[in-house]
Structure 1
Amino acid sequence: MERKHFLKSLLVGAFSTPALLSACSKTDEVAPTTTGSTTGTTGTGSSTCAVAPTETEGPFPTKVPASYVRSDITDGKAGYKMTVKITITDSNNNCAALAGALVDIWHCDAEGNYSEYGGTGMQSTNYQAVHFLRGRQTTDSNGLVTFTSIFPGWYSGRATHIHVHVYNTNGTSLKVTQIAFPEGTGTAVAAVNGYNKGLSGYTSNSKDNVFSDGVTQELATVTGSTSAGFDLSITLAVPA
């Protein structure tokens, strides 16, 4: 993944409700959607236990993941509140829940910038000294980790996405992948509307250089609204 352009616009405004860290209206509500990756949740065989695709970490991976063991990764960043629930299953064990796995996530802020990087042509804003929107959690007995974050923004050349790196309990890498978001009328992507940027120039999943080959195993279920906040859930099968 490479950026073709860096972002110039900055998110501004005051935020007045716990769920809404940016301006909102009732017209932005999103009906719950059933679109998403549910493959591997039942563990009933190969047809429902497909391994999550391996994807690039991109140019902005977390530098020292073990330093950011936390469930709330917002670090004060502005944006619409989003709860992220990721269930990890073992594709080598009929997609049974994988307990004790380490799960790292990271994504850009509402403006499309990443922490720990910047001051270069790929990202002009310098965020090298901060670590927002990055965190690590350990899966429980149900294979679940939960993070509190904000709805990601977007930047040139990429669709809305979240990076995920899964390790076993000993720290051995099991899978690097990415989470895609449903798009189109009635979706959270449409409701958020790119925050202050809008969606002019937005790269859809079908044209994204990571997701253009399909998002069947990477597409999350996203429900909620800009006023109440969003809930993202996905199940990812990895070979443990």
Structure 2
Amino acid sequence: MAHDHHDDHHGHGHGMAEDLPRFEALLARRRMLQWFAGAGTAALVAGCGGGSGSSSSDSVSVVSGSTSTATPTPTATSTPTPTATPTPTATSTSSSGCVAAASETNGPYPADGTNSSSGSTSNVLTSSGIVRSDIRSSFISSTTTATGVQLQITLALVNVNSSCAPLSGYAIYIWCCDRQGLYSLYTLPAESYLRGVQVTDSNGQVTFTLIFPGCYSGRWPHIHFEVYSSLTNATSGRYATLISQLALPADICTTVYADTTTYPSSSRNFTQIGSLSSDNVFGDNTTAQNSAMTPALTGSTSAGYIGTATIGLAL
């Protein structure tokens, strides 16, 4: 509404008829100002999101003339679960309950095709009849039976790197000297006794019946053996997995060799050796190996002896 400011300086010497229109104009002007003031407040409320249809994303909080910035809620950082460090598996040739047998020489009288006797290769493994449990008799060109104190020995073949699991289907060839310290097919070329092969059963076991071998000069009383992964490999005289020897218990040796009629020179030879550690084959083995490679025997010279030994392979 337009308003002339010069009219405010006029005097009041006019009558009611003149002042009434001015009074009504002034009243109307004040109402207009009040209306504008109210409209401004409503606009401010609407601008602050006071309406029920306002979006919360558009709202701004006003406190004492300052704008408050909402503090964001921190996102929790998850602590990663540490990855467990794997325990290294120790490489060992032994497990609880069994020890890997030491590799030993097969000696000068193996008859396994690796050397000769009387000018020809000696290989009893290719001979028919070599697979047998009782090895006391010759079976090639003679039927002579070796005499002496009977010994029955069971060998259990196990894998020391697989919790001593039995190894079935393997072939074990054993041989030893007779009661006088002589070997068939060599110092006794006409004989083939005290040699034989057996295949391990589901328990990894083989059993041989032989005699308690004599003790010859320079060696601790022993039994030779070779292990093959199959009978085919054994009877072809090749690919031995292990070549080793069994040491006979000292106390049993002393008892058996006391019969100098049956074992004429063994007692003297055995006394001269002294101890297992002084033997040129067993002397460099560990105590654990010699213990495992010495069969535990029970029995007597009259009834014979029965023994067992566990042969460990580190496969």
Aligning the two structures, in what range does the TM-score lie when normalised by the shorter sequence?
A: 0.7 to 0.9
**Pick aligned residue for 1:225 from 276, 290, 300:** 300
CA RMSD in angstroms, aligned pairs only: 1.6
Question: Does residue 1:90 correspond to 2:159, yes or no?
Answer: yes
Deviates more, 1:164-173 or 1:147-156: 164-173
For the residues of structure 1 that align with 2:124 and 2:297, how far apart are their CA atoms?
29
**Pick aligned residue for 2:278 from 207, 227, 234:** 207
TM-score, with normalisation over the residues of structure 2? 0.56
> Percent of aligned pairs with the same residue?
42
Deviation at 1:218, TM superposition (A): 1.2
Deviation at 1:209, TM superposition (A): 0.4
For the residues of structure 2 that align with 1:178 and 1:137, how far apart are their CA atoms?
16
For the residues of structure 1 that align with 2:256 and 2:167, how far apart are their CA atoms?
33
Deviation at 1:150, TM superposition (A): 0.5
Which residue of structure 1 aligns with residue 45 of structure 2?
none
Highest CA radius of gyration, 1 or 2? 2
Aligned residues of 1:53 and 1:217 also touching (Cα < 8 A): no
Deviation at 1:129, TM superposition (A): 2.5
TM-score, with normalisation over the residues of structure 1? 0.73
Gaps of 5+ in 1: 1-44, 119-126
Q: How many residues align?
A: 185
Aligned pairs for 1:1-240 (under 5 A) are: 46-62=95-111, 63-67=123-127, 68-75=130-137, 76-118=145-187, 127-169=188-230, 171=233, 172-183=239-250, 187-193=251-257, 195-202=263-270, 203=273, 204-214=275-285, 215-240=290-315
Aligned residues of 2:298 and 2:305 also touching (Cα < 8 A): yes
Higher helix share: 2
Which residue of structure 1 aligns with residue 66 of structure 2?
none
For the residues of structure 1 that align with 2:255 and 2:200, how far apart are their CA atoms?
31
Aligned residues of 1:104 and 1:137 also touching (Cα < 8 A): yes
Deviation at 1:66, TM superposition (A): 4.1
Deviates more, 1:94-103 or 1:84-93: 84-93
For the residues of structure 1 that align with 2:204 and 2:298, how far apart are their CA atoms?
21
Aligned residues of 1:174 and 1:239 also touching (Cα < 8 A): no
Aligned residues of 2:136 and 2:194 also touching (Cα < 8 A): yes
